[in-house]
């Protein structure tokens, strides 16, 4: 009898252990695979039938979940979509999640570690759990202004930041689209809408142009060159330099010249300040070859090049290449060849100069709170890197006044705001009349409140150069004097 009991006990214990192992495998090891399995309709209905947390700007939702009359109980709804589509992204039954909907999914869906207690309460009470609410750093008036200055039918980005804190006050782009078209629960409608959106020139519903697109920065890269020149101790703002109209790149037959019709072609020599204001190519190319690629690359990396990071949107790494010949270095020094930069990157360069040489990490998130308003995340200003010294930053600020005082950014000169800026034009090919047209700067120059960067991609030179400068002036006057 005792042996029978022992045998039964062994069997029961063995079955119990098998059950424990099975549960462990299902709950821990295989949990993610089961959750993400395409045939797991229960998980699908649970996710899209939940009260996902809102994304807020100035306390108002730009993305929220509202009750619906279909099988999913809740529908994701977006507001002011043209202004914010690049930031929010979409939460789609058909195409998944992009933008902040993807990067902050654990908070919005209520699955973050900080929401564990809420999940336990939901489990035992049977009440519907709501996701956390995310408050952005965006200023709605600045966002609307940034979007409005760009005409329709262009590929453009505008970024406005606070140089001291790194807060992103506006980040807008065109072309834009209505994210509600992809959030629909109807797969047929979502597919038809996506097909229509993909016919719009320059539009990708999957990308946020200011952080993902990498156009050549043109002469805005001369900010990097000039910092490297000043830091070397071999150049000063009042130093007179040769300004050849054209140079032949080393070991090639390729000429590199100044912009045709500009003042640089009328000067045999000029001070660094004058060369900077008129954006002469040849002196910067000669200086870059004299300083060497390592110094230029190190300075570029001190300002954030060659590094990807998250805000929490992924910011593509702006690029300054390695192993350059002297000819390639000369072309790279004027922001051409294989040099690439996001709009946010060139904004960071201007903001670091405005902030006495200290680059702050760009911040898009202000706070994250649970559904009961419990503070889960309170994002604080963070130093990203020390890009240059306060002394060099002060010299750069004075130099950046020059382009507005009769230089390449003369259209941006304002009677009410002291603006510091640098323009840039990147040619897209010898047989192509289109350019990338840039301007980046800050104001007021002596006490910076905002840094602003504007880039128009694939645009004709005259239109681009006029839009960038006049847009910058309009934004600076509206923001600084409000």
Residues annotated as catalytic are 219
What are 271's two structure tokens? 């001070």
Q: Torsions phi, psi of 150, nearest 5?
A: -85, 125
Alpha-carbon radius of gyration of the chain: 27
Q: Is beta strand 420-427 parallel, antiparallel or unpaired with respect to 74-78?
A: unpaired
Give the Cα separation of 334 and 279 in Å (integer): 9
Specify the 3-state DSSP secondary structure of 305.
Answer: coil
Half-sphere exposure of 38 (CA within 13 A, CB side): 2
Supply the angle between the helices 81-88 and 140-149 in degrees, to the nearest 10: 100
- Which residues neighbour 222 within 8 Å (Cβ) at sequence distance 6 or greater? 276, 279, 284, 333, 334, 335, 422, 424
Q: Count of CB atoms within 10 A of residue 212's CB?
A: 19
Closest CA to 449 of 414, 408, 482, 409: 482
Q: Residue 379 has what DSSP assignment?
A: -
Cβ within 8 Å of residue 367, ≥6 positions away? 134, 135, 375, 377, 378, 379
At 28 the three-state DSSP class reads: helix
Nearest to 86 by CA among 184, 132, 155, 186: 155
Q: Where are the beta strands (DSSP E) in 14-88?
A: 55-57, 60-67, 74-78
Report how far residue 129's alpha carbon sits from residue 152's, in angstroms, rounded to the nearest whole number: 41
Helix (H, G, I), strand (E, B) or coil at 330: helix
Side-chain-side CA neighbours of residue 19 (13 Å): 6
Q: Alpha-carbon distance 285 to 334, whole Å?
A: 7
Instruction: Decide the pairing of beta strands 55-57 and 133-136.
Output: parallel
d(CA 457, CA 389): 32
């Amino acid at each position: 009898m005792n042996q029978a009991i022992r045998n039964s006990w062994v069997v029961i214990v063995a079955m119990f252990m098998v059950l424990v192992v099975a549960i462990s495998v299902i709950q821990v090891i295989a949990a993610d695979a089961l959750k993400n399995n395409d045939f797991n309709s229960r998980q699908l209905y649970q996710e899209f039938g939940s009260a996902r947390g809102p994304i807020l700007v100035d306390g108002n939702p730009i993305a929220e979940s509202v009750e619906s009359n279909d099988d999913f109980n809740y529908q994701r709804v977006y507001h002011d979509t043209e202004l914010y589509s690049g930031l929010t992204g979409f939460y789609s039954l058909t195409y998944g999640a992009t933008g902040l909907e993807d990067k902050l999914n654990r908070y919005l869906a209520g699955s973050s570690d900080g929401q564990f207690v809420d999940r336990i309460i939901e489990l035992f009470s049977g009440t519907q759990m709501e996701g956390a609410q995310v408050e952005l750093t965006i200023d709605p008036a600045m966002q609307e202004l940034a979007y409005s200055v760009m005409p329709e039918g262009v590929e453009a980005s505008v970024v406005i930041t606070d140089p001291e804190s790194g807060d992103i006050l506006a980040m807008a782009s065109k072309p834009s689209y209505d994210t509600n078209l992809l959030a629909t629960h109807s797969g047929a409608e979502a597919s038809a809408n996506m097909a229509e959106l993909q016919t719009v020139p320059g539009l990708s519903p999957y990308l946020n142009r200011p952080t993902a697109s990498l156009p050549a920065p043109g002469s805005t890269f001369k900010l990097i060159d000039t910092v490297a020149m000043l830091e070397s101790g071999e150049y000063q703002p009042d130093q007179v330099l040769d300004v050849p109209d054209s140079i032949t790149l080393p070991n090639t037959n390729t000429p590199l010249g100044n912009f045709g019709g500009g003042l640089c072609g009328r000067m045999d020599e000029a001070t660094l300040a004058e060369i900077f204001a008129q954006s002469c190519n040849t002196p910067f190319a000669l200086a870059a070859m004299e300083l060497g690629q390592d110094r230029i690359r190190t300075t570029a990396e001190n300002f954030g090049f060659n590094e990807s990071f998250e805000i929490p949107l992924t910011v593509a790494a702006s690029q300054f290449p390695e192993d350059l010949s002297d000819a390639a270095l000369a072309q790279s020094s004027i922001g051409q060849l294989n040099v690439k930069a996001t709009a946010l990157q060139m904004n960071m360069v201007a903001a670091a100069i405005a902030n006495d040489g200290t680059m702050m990490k760009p911040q898009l998130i202000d706070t994250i709170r649970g559904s009961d308003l419990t503070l889960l995340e309170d994002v604080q200003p963070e130093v990203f890197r020390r890009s240059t010294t306060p002394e060099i930053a002060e010299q750069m600020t004075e130099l950046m006044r020059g382009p507005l005082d009769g230089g390449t950014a003369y259209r941006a000169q304002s009677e009410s705001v002291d603006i510091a800026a640098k323009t840039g034009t990147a040619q897209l090919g010898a047989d192509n009349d289109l350019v990338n047209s840039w301007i980046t700067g800050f104001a007021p120059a002596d006490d910076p409140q905002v840094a602003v960067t504007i880039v128009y991609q694939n645009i004709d030179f005259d239109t681009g150069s006029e839009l960038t400068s006049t847009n910058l002036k309009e934004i600076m006057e509206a923001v600084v004097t409000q």
